[in-house]
Amino acid sequence: MAAAARRQSYWNATAPASGFPSFTGDLEVDVAIIGGGIVGVTTASQLKERGLSFALLEARRVGEEVTGKSTAKVTSQHNIKYTTIERKFGEESARHYADANETGLRTVVDLAGRLGIDCSLERRPAFTYTKEEHHVAEIEKEVELARRLGLPASLTRDTGLPFDVLAAMRWDDQAQFHPTRYVKGLAATLPGNGGYVFEGSRVIDWGKDRAATDAGSVRAKHVVMATHLPLGQTGLFYAENHPHMHPVIMGQADPARVPAGMHISVETPHHSLRGHRDENGRSWMIFTGPTFKHGHVDQERQAFAQIERFAAEHFGVTAEYRWTNEDYTPMDHAPFVGWSSGGAGACLVATGFDAWGLSMGTAAGILLADIIADRANPWLDLFDARRIKPIAGAKDFLKANAEVAADLVGGYLSRKPHGFDDLRPGEGAVLKVDGHNVAGYRDEGGALHAVSAVCTHMGCIVGWNETDRTWDCPCHGSRFGLDGAVIHGPAVKPLAPHVSKKDQASRSA
């Protein structure tokens, strides 16, 4: 690891502050939107175009969570996705997936241009490549299907990468952008004429017609939960989506070594990469690599080492920014968009993007606005969030959950501190204290920060994320800060403060 690497998303570090007010009081609108990532902000923009009023409540800052930590390719090419969708749902559904994502891509390009959003948007070809013989046929099949669906796909071995590949598919006219600037830029066009955007406003209670923070309540005809994974127990989506975590690095690059396209490998460990030119004309490259389990420090270190080796060896890039990011794989591989359930308390949701949620998240915003405006949309046939298809996918899905359970028993760190006194500065670990699981972190100044390690969603034990310095839950992907505050759901309540027996005794004395 480069000594000076910053523990932050490059995109968030280089976006202007958004500065929306926090919510207080009471408000009545057509639609309450919980969450200001690409899904929530696009939904709001679509509702505005349809003349509906809305209040968007963002817990932290718009665009800075999963969206602002992505590699930010806006594509209808999603690795080997179409063959999977066609196998599980049929060719007509693959056509809907293609249409949704091409529409999502076109919408991003159109909005950025029409609204003058300064987000480094560039049209680029996207490539999925393989260096392994047994994946060649998969690429050929994906291209054949994509062409049948009318997508701009072709077979090639000419990728612009500094190594030979056995096969690759090239999709023309795809796009890349600065995700945080795009979302913040779009959000800036929303207030006024019945549109409200609030930041620092975490929703802690909700129903089909209300969303409440600890400072007030929004009443609405519809509630959209655009929180990446729906909150709490909503629709039980945490049981139908498997979380995965990835290392992301970004560093300056020799412009002559930056490929013109955006690239991802079929084989695991996945390598995904692309270039970026900043406003001062400097060239950068961003990379993401192998998946690792939430809170599993040894796996996290290996994942970073792997992607950092790849970036240095092939592109001469050293990490200047390092961060982690997560997404969810739905058990049948299609995102869930629409009503959370058939019941009376249903809200609208969008989740399960499988690390392809920028074009798809934009399409989700269009679909959600269509549902609210009572407009027919054929994509719903595939994405309907109430579908129950526990057919294919269930076996792998259950295996992944069983591995999580085994890890919870086995622990995460190879070096196990004996107690908090044994924690080195910058180190975090979960330890048993007075019979309780406690998450402790020793900061660089030597002070200990300790909170309960019991996730407030459903009671799993969180683990340490060394890069971002957060407590991450391996069960359904909730993330918490050092003080226990929620960063990512489905949890909505913070980790409880840890009060040692000694403190308890001195308080009651």
Q: What are phi and psi of 495, to 5 degrees?
A: -65, 140
356 binding ligand FAD? (CB under 6 A)? yes
Q: Which is nearer to ligand FAD, 301 or 436 (CB)?
A: 301
107 binding ligand FAD? (CB under 6 A)? no
100-132 CB burial, b ≥16 within 10 A, e <16: bbbbbbbbbbebbeeeebebbbbebbbbbbbbe
Q: Which is nearer to ligand FAD, 102 or 326 (CB)?
A: 326
The site partner of 195 among ligand FES, ligand FAD, none (C-beta below 5 to 8 Å per kind) is: none
Q: Which is nearer to ligand FES, 285 or 462 (CB)?
A: 462
C-alpha distances in Å from residue 188, one per residue of 37, 115, 310: 13, 10, 38
Q: Which is nearer to ligand FAD, 44 or 430 (CB)?
A: 44
Residue among 5, 65, 181, 385 that touches ligand FAD (CB under 6 A): 65
196-235 mask for ligand FAD (x: CB under 6 A)? Answer: ------xx----------------------xxx--x----
Which residues, 6 or more positions from 246, have their beta carbon under 8 angstroms from its beta carbon? 288, 289, 290, 291, 292, 303, 324, 325, 326, 327, 355
Direct distance between the N- and C-terminal alpha carbons of the chain, in angstroms, rounded to an integer: 48
The site partner of 353 among ligand FAD, ligand FES, none (C-beta below 5 to 8 Å per kind) is: ligand FAD
Q: How many CB atoms lie within 10 A of CB 362?
A: 29
Tokens 């690095």, located at residue? 249
Furthest C-alpha separation in the chain = 76
Residue among 93, 189, 234, 325 that touches ligand FAD (CB under 6 A): 325
Angle, vertex CA 72, rays to CA 104 and CA 155, nearest 5 = 75
The rounded distance, in Å, linking the Cα atoms of 306 and 122 is 29
The rounded distance, in Å, linking the Cα atoms of 78 and 101 is 10
The site partner of 325 among ligand FAD, ligand FES, none (C-beta below 5 to 8 Å per kind) is: ligand FAD
The rounded distance, in Å, linking the Cα atoms of 9 and 501 is 39
Q: Locate 141 and state its tokens.
A: 């099949």
- Segment near ligand FAD (CB under 6 A); pick from 52-60, 126-134, 425-433, 475-483: 52-60
The site partner of 490 among ligand FES, ligand FAD, none (C-beta below 5 to 8 Å per kind) is: ligand FES
CB of 219 to ligand FES, least distance (A): 29
Near ligand FES in 421-480, by CB under 6 A: 455, 457-460, 473, 475-478
Q: How many residues bind ligand FES (CB under 6 A)?
A: 13
53-92 mask for ligand FES (x: CB under 6 A)? Answer: ----------------------------------------
- Segment near ligand FAD (CB under 6 A); pick from 20-28, 68-76, 400-408, 495-503: 68-76
Q: Which is nearer to ligand FES, 230 or 477 (CB)?
A: 477
CB of 489 to ligand FES, least distance (A): 8
Q: Which is nearer to ligand FES, 184 or 476 (CB)?
A: 476
Q: How many residues bind ligand FAD (CB under 6 A)?
A: 39
The rounded distance, in Å, linking the Cα atoms of 54 and 195 is 5
Tokens 């090419």, located at residue? 77
The rounded distance, in Å, linking the Cα atoms of 276 and 290 is 21
37 binding ligand FAD? (CB under 6 A)? yes
| Cβ-contact 326, 488 below 8 angstroms | yes
Q: Cis (ω within 30 of 0) for the bond into 259?
A: no
- Segment near ligand FAD (CB under 6 A); pick from 23-31, 34-42, 88-96, 376-384: 34-42
491 binding ligand FES? (CB under 6 A)? yes
CB of 481 to ligand FES, least distance (A): 15
- As beta bridge partners, residue 74 has 175
Q: Which is nearer to ligand FES, 188 or 485 (CB)?
A: 485
| Cβ-contact 94, 86 below 8 angstroms | yes
The rounded distance, in Å, linking the Cα atoms of 87 and 224 is 30
Tell me the HSE value of 321 on the side-chain side, using a 13 A CA sphere.
22
311 binding ligand FAD? (CB under 6 A)? no
The site partner of 377 among ligand FAD, ligand FES, none (C-beta below 5 to 8 Å per kind) is: none
- Segment near ligand FAD (CB under 6 A); pick from 30-38, 134-142, 336-344, 464-472: 30-38
361 binding ligand FAD? (CB under 6 A)? yes
CB of 73 to ligand FAD, least distance (A): 4
407 binding ligand FAD? (CB under 6 A)? no
Near ligand FES in 230-259, by CB under 6 A: 238
267-293 CB burial, b ≥16 within 10 A, e <16: eeebbbbbbbeeeeeebbbbbbbbbbb
Backbone dihedral region for residue 452 (phi beyond 0: left; psi -120 to 50: alpha; all else: beta)? beta
Q: How many CB atoms lie within 10 A of CB 416?
A: 11
CB of 245 to ligand FES, least distance (A): 13
240-259 mask for ligand FAD (x: CB under 6 A)? Answer: ------x-x-----------
Contact set with ligand FAD (CB under 6 A): 34-40, 57-60, 65-67, 70-73, 202-203, 226-228, 231, 246, 248, 288, 325-327, 353, 355-359, 361, 489, 492
Contact set with ligand FES (CB under 6 A): 238, 455, 457-460, 473, 475-478, 490-491
